[in-house]
Structure 1
Amino acid sequence: MIRIFAAVFALFGQIACADGLPAPEGPVILTVTGDITRTNGDGIAEFDREMLDNLAQRATTATTPWLEGPHTFSGPMGTAILDAVGAQGETIQVVALNDYSADVPVQDLRDFDVIFATAIDGEILTVRDKGPLFLIYPFDENPDLFNEVYFGRSVWQITQINVQN
């Protein structure tokens, strides 16, 4: 009986990872669509918090125009999310809960170690606090980024990324 259960469990695990990405077990907080090669749904890649926490992480202390003083933001690196889904595009459209969106060059993620922050000062970001995800450039590490171009790309309350050519 135990062997049968183990075999069935293994089969479901393989089905969940059939396209190279495991299925989320918790609430989905990020959906990636577009030009991707690894999915866990019908042409989409869905992530729960645990899946995002298992990607390469980075923390950066940054002063932003939206919060008073410097804060430490942490979360998965943008490149780690793109690598996890096998992204093939050159631009990502980052979409917020309120449908605000910004186009971000993939090269930004590589050049500036951009993160999709899930926490600020060690506290999980909630929707009220600009969560569940907040795209953060390392503004204090690279002062040239502290301008309207990069502020406009720093979307908060992110729920979706669409990979485009």
Structure 2
Amino acid sequence: MRPVFAFDPTTITRLPQPVDEVLLVIDGAITRTNRDEAAHLDLNAIRSLPAHSLHTNTVVTDGVKHFEGVLMRDLLELVGAIGTTVQARTLNNYSVDIPMSDFYDYDVVLASHMDATQLLPSGKGPLWIVYPRDQWRQLQDIRYDYRWAWQLNRLTVK
């Protein structure tokens, strides 16, 4: 399924410059950049992608939570990712390699909001990779739990 964007990412070679605080830097094997051979994205750039939400349990919160953001596969399409693995890094120096196939096999969300509240760095923000674990039994496995990178601030496509 091809995402619908506010603009067609296949017609641009460079992304627009961020206007607000940069929340996410994507580098590595990408074809669309806007600064220093990387994609520097603010919340406006991320929100230019189609919105997506999901309800799911997590292993670090109580009960079902409502997450809002964009699909990871749409984000990777925006930057022209051409790798097979994404290394996610966080503000607290956590790092995990995630197969890109996860983002095409499941509706994995790059969440900016939980329960209608913007995620902040003092919590799980500014961004959180969230899997639809309640929809897929195989995602209720510790291997996938490690891929839920919160306080996300950098992705490297390999």
* Shared fold (TM-score, shorter chain, > 0.5): yes
The whole-number CA distance in structure 2 between the counterparts of 1:143 and 1:74 is 21
Query: What residue ranges of structure 2 are gaps of 5+ in the alignment?
Result: 1-11
Point out the more displaced range, 26-35 or 56-65. Answer: 56-65
Question: RMSD of the TM alignment (CA)?
Answer: 1.3
The whole-number CA distance in structure 2 between the counterparts of 1:25 and 1:144 is 40
Moved over 2 A (4+): none
The whole-number CA distance in structure 2 between the counterparts of 1:77 and 1:36 is 17
**TM-score scaled by structure 1?**
0.87
**TM superposition shift of 1:129:** 2.0
The whole-number CA distance in structure 2 between the counterparts of 1:144 and 1:89 is 24
Query: Identity over aligned residues, as a percent?
Result: 35
- Which letter does structure 1 place at the counterpart of 2:104? R
Q: Secondary structure at the match of 2:122?
A: helix
The whole-number CA distance in structure 1 between the counterparts of 2:70 and 2:33 is 18
Kindly indicate whether residue 68 of structure 2 is the aligned counterpart of residue 74 of structure 1. yes
What number of residue pairs does the alignment pair up? 148
For 1:36, which of 30, 35, 38 is the aligned residue?
A: 30
Q: Deviations over 1:95-143 (max 9, x none)?
A: 0002111100110001001011000011110012200011000011112
**TM-score scaled by structure 2?**
0.90
Cross-structure match for 2:8: none
Which structure is higher in helix share? 1
The whole-number CA distance in structure 2 between the counterparts of 1:87 and 1:62 is 27
